[in-house]
Chain A
Amino acid sequence: EAQLVQSGGDLVQPGGSLRLSCVVSGLTFSGYYMDWVRQAPGKGLEWLGHIRNKDHSYSTDYAACVKGRFTISRDDSKNSVFLEMNSLKIEDTAVYYCARVKGGRQGDLDYWGQGTLVTVSS
């Protein structure tokens, strides 16, 4: 069974840091791009960024709202993708999802994690 299992969500103070993890099982991982998407409470979906595969040098792109503060990385040997979040702001409070990009596509997300809640509050 395909699974993306997320962990790392927590309550953190403004200005703090957090690292989210996403472990993929039952699916091919290494050849695929991986994305992060978030959803603030009661709001819509917001694309945060992606990491490409080895063939594309593990390059990354980010939304402007997180560029310079968030970093996406991956470890293909562990079928894992990570989201390192620094300088967190109250407006970063959201459920964060990892998702796999459908093969041969750019941004169509065919498998999703269960989501992990990040709360930024003093």
Chain B
Amino acid sequence: DIQMTQSPSSVSASVGDRVTITCRASQGINSWLAWYQQKPGKAPKLLIYAASTMQGGVPSRFSGSGSGTDFTLTISSLQPEDFATYYCQQSNSLPYTFGQGTKLDIK
């Protein structure tokens, strides 16, 4: 199975900050990577797929990049509603595995 490792596991930031979350795959996954946002008690929400394509309705402050094994999710200017947990997921090879999550909270 492909292991997905996110870093950091948690990060504290302030409104207006720029935040970058990293996801590393244990083997190459081309661009078969998605990013999700999850708020407590809610289902995850798709933010980005194909490593860098924004899902419709997602604010432009979110962006994704990378290919192969190393990927990043960047939030350019944090808004209060962005404090949540973020997950990456690979869909290059079965089983489709998630990273362990990165919790973004308010400093």
Q: Which residues does A use to contact B, with CB under 8 Å?
A: 35, 37, 44-47, 49-50, 61-64, 97, 99, 102, 105-110, 112-115
Contact = CB atoms under 8 A, between A and B. Distances in A.
B91 A45 contact: no
3 A-B pairs with least C-beta separation: A107-B91, A112-B43, A108-B49
A109 B44 contact: yes
Interface residues of B, number: 25
Given A44-B100, A107-B32, A108-B34, A102 B95 contact: no
B89 A107 contact: yes
Interface string B27-48: 0000010101010000111100
Nearest to B101: A44
Contacts of B34: 107-109
13 contacts: A44-B87, A44-B99, A45-B44, A45-B89, A61-B95, A63-B95, A105-B91, A107-B32, A107-B91, A109-B36, A109-B46, A112-B43, A114-B43
A99 B96 CA distance: 13
A45 B43 contact: no
Interface in B1-60: 1, 32, 34, 36, 38, 43-46, 49-50, 55
Given A106-B96, A107-B90, 14 more contacts: A35-B96, A44-B99, A45-B38, A47-B95, A61-B94, A61-B95, A63-B95, A102-B49, A105-B50, A108-B46, A108-B50, A110-B46, A112-B44, A113-B43
Interface of B: 1, 32, 34, 36, 38, 43-46, 49-50, 55, 87, 89-92, 94-101
Contact of B98 (A45, A64, A99, A115): A45
Contacts of B45: 112
Contacts of A110: 46, 55
Contacts of B92: 106
Contacts of A108: 34, 46, 49-50, 89, 91
A69 B49 CA distance: 30
Contacts of A45: 36, 38, 44, 87, 89, 98, 101
A63 B89 CA distance: 14
